[in-house]
Chain A
Amino acid sequence: MTTQLSDETLLDMHRRMVRIRIFEEHAGKLMEDGKIPGALHLYVGQEAIAAGVMVHLSDEDWITSTHRGHGHLIAKGGEFDPMFAEIYGRATGYCKGKGGSMHISNMQIGMLGANGIVGAGPPIAVGAAFSNKFRKTDRVAVTFFGDGASNEGSFHEAANMAALFRLPLVFVCENNGYGEYTPQANHQAIVDVADRAVGYGMPGVIVDGMDVVAVYEAAGAAIERAREGAGPTLLECKTYRFYDHVGVRGMGLNYRSDEELARWQKRDPITLFEGHLAEHSILSEEAAQAIHAEITEQVKAGIEFAESSPFPEPDALLEDVYA
């Protein structure tokens, strides 16, 4: 980690990460307690990536997300109240309760949705990046996807088209080592997804996805390149999913070892970053705790908002099918 960043940016990224973590921890518990319907795919462990990328973006820059999308939306500026309301299926949610966790979105802040289909985001991000260029803006698009999605044809078609058209797009691969429950070694013959970039004529960059400053720097370079019209970059962030594919304990499947999890938890991106911030006297341990407490209160208020919000009226069933 380097310290050339302003304190303001560092603290901004810290806050985004903590907002994700506390939101997700509460959401996971609520799901496992049966309070939230359906399935949640939690972002815990991967927070440095969303924060380190999103701090470069404005509301006019577009992102596409994944089934593990809460973190991306929070880092992009999503608010707790309508987010909790959405995953509770309430009318006050970002999507009026009709999308839920897997389709949560807020287009006003440039978020083109979580997505229930693995690998569906990159082609849509190609369209958003194309649109930025077509409309002669200097906006960029960023598409998040996992190591598993990098095996989908949609990723490959999108990568080729984006490079061919020199689109202002950044492909951010969050390589957490598992495609659902299948370890990377069992789903692809390569170790570094970034190797795939060369096949499409774009740079491939590998970064430590647990180090928010490293992500910030690599993402900044890729986004700047995109804004300048030099085309896309494939940025691979090595990370780890602290919770299961679904929920916290998920289905109790024995697909990874406790030792492996413990090894990665030692590199918890928030703990690492808070150590760094304390070491450089940017944020004391007490001040960090105060931020956690403040955000916990906001999360609790969000849950209360959701639980006291109405479910959609029956008429909503057939609304928004067509414009």
Chain B
Amino acid sequence: MAEAKPEVRKLRYVAAITDGVRQVLEEQDNSFLAGEDVAGAGSVYGYYKGLLEQFGPDRVYDTPISEEAIIGLAVGAAATGCRPIVDLMFMDFMGECMDEIANQLAKMRYMFGGQATLPVTILTMAGAGASMAAQHSQSLEAWVCHLPGLKVVMPTTPYDAKGLIIAAARDDNPVMVVLNKMSLALSGEVPEEPYAIELGKANIVRPGTNLTIVALGRMVHEALSAVEPLKALGIDPEIIDPRSLQPFDTQTVIESVEKTQRALIVHEAVRFGGFGGEIAAQIQELAFDSLDAPVARVGAPFSPVPFSPALEALYVPNADRIVAEVKKMLGV
């Protein structure tokens, strides 16, 4: 009798977050979870549900609505021997705690000449598409990728969510895990045992031959939706999900562009000054001779995220806009 392929269970993105955090709390005695509404309520999206019951009030803490003190709590606790996991409910709230992120957390090790080690994991929620308007929908990863000392990851699938949370928590550096609110219901294979995704290693989601699409976070799914219409144009795209933006896997992107000779970058953040500009610059620096066309970018327009569903639909990049950009690139 042939051995049956082991069934990998399926979990939603939201449950994969829970699973990752739970396994970190299980494997690291000096870790704790703190943030607004994380204990009693189990987070506004429910992804910490059950953790208070399992680990008790000495491991899972509700905090006041005080983002600066929450990040400060993580900095001070990490520098003195803990491995904090803190929740910054929405990425938009970075404005309330940017000093502790940018000037303390990211820089303390360097400023102190290597004395401090800051194994902090910050979980935060980004993304538009839920009519949550201008202050609860942004993708601000570019703000934090510009900070030496910090690592930044963007999980795309349930598998990535768990694997990147565990990798972040096992890393001895501060890592910001930028989750996506429109992906919470997404279902996918998530192994039961703990596993870590290597930080700084891109995922080739779909191999292809004549266009490299580097897509961040949820835009990977939009890029996958664009595959069929692109094929009709004679395009066989290679889709790369960096997963980790800082550190960034330049090599995988460059090798792909050298093969495909075209590159398109897609992110949900505002295009101007977005992380895509950095990727485009790296491609032209390192693969200029391979390029058949200028590096193209798809991102949000230069406006705050609008509330009205009618406007938000125009705002958030999608498969149609990816196809339109490729047509422009091909001159068809």
Contacts and interface: CB of A to CB of B under 8 A. Distances in A.
Q: Which of A62, A64, A116, A124 has the most CB of B within 10 A?
A: A124
Interface of A: 62, 64, 93-99, 103, 105-108, 112-113, 115-117, 120, 122-132, 134-135, 141, 153-154, 157-158, 160-161, 164-165, 319-323
B111 A321 contact: no
A323 B172 contact: yes
B30 A135 contact: yes
Nearest to B103: A117
B113 A120 contact: no
Contacts of B28: none
B110 interface: yes
B173 A322 contact: yes
A124 B79 contact: yes
B64 A131 contact: no
Q: Which of A99, A105, A323 has the most CB of B within 10 A?
A: A323
Given A127-B76, A323-B172, A105 B112 contact: yes
Contact of A107 (B30, B64, B74, B112): B112
A94 B64 CA distance: 36
B112 A120 contact: no
B225 interface: no
A122 B66 contact: no
Contacts of A124: 72, 75-76, 79, 100, 104
Q: Which of B30, B113, B151 has the most CB of A within 10 A?
A: B113
The 7 closest A-B pairs by CB, nearest first: A127-B76, A123-B72, A96-B113, A95-B113, A157-B69, A157-B66, A320-B114
Contacts of A164: 64
B113 A132 contact: no
Contacts of B73: 123, 126-127, 130, 161
Given A161-B64, A323-B172, A128 B77 contact: yes
27 contacts: A94-B113, A94-B115, A95-B112, A95-B115, A105-B115, A105-B116, A107-B79, A112-B116, A117-B104, A120-B72, A120-B99, A123-B71, A126-B72, A128-B77, A128-B79, A131-B80, A134-B32, A134-B82, A135-B82, A153-B68, A160-B66, A161-B63, A161-B69, A161-B73, A165-B61, A319-B114, A323-B173
B80 A132 contact: yes
Contacts of A165: 61
Contacts of B66: 157, 160-161
Interface string B56-89: 0010010110101101111111111110100000
B99 A113 contact: no
Contacts, number: 146
Nearest to B67: A157
A141 B77 CA distance: 11
B149 interface: yes
Contacts of B76: 62, 64, 112, 123-131, 141
A78 to B, nearest CB: 13
B117 interface: yes
A153 B173 CA distance: 26
Contact of A321 (B78, B79, B148): B148
B69 A135 contact: no
Nearest to B78: A127
Contact of A157 (B58, B68, B118): B68
B64 A160 contact: yes
Contacts of B81: 131, 135
A165 B68 CA distance: 16
B11 to A, nearest CB: 30
Given A128-B80, A161-B64, A122 B72 contact: yes
Given A123-B76, A128-B77, A164-B64, 14 more contacts: A94-B115, A95-B111, A95-B115, A98-B113, A105-B115, A113-B111, A120-B100, A123-B68, A123-B69, A126-B69, A157-B64, A161-B73, A320-B109, A321-B149
B108 A134 contact: no
A159 to B, nearest CB: 9
Q: Which of B30, B99, B149 has the most CB of A within 10 A?
A: B99
Contacts of A105: 111-112, 115-116
Nearest to B34: A130
A123 B100 contact: yes
B100 to A, nearest CB: 6
B112 A113 contact: yes
Contacts of B172: 323
Contacts of B103: 116-117, 120
A132 B77 CA distance: 8
Contact of B77 (A96, A134, A319): A134
Contacts of A64: 76
A127 B79 contact: yes
A145 to B, nearest CB: 13
A129 B75 CA distance: 11
B113 A99 contact: yes
Contacts of B82: 130-131, 134-135
B84 to A, nearest CB: 8
Contacts of B68: 123, 153-154, 157
Contacts of A125: 76
Q: Which of B69, B82, B115, B117 has the most CB of A within 10 A?
A: B69
A97 B114 CA distance: 11
Nearest to B106: A321
Q: Which of B76, B111, B119 has the most CB of A within 10 A?
A: B76
A321 B72 contact: no
A98 B107 CA distance: 11
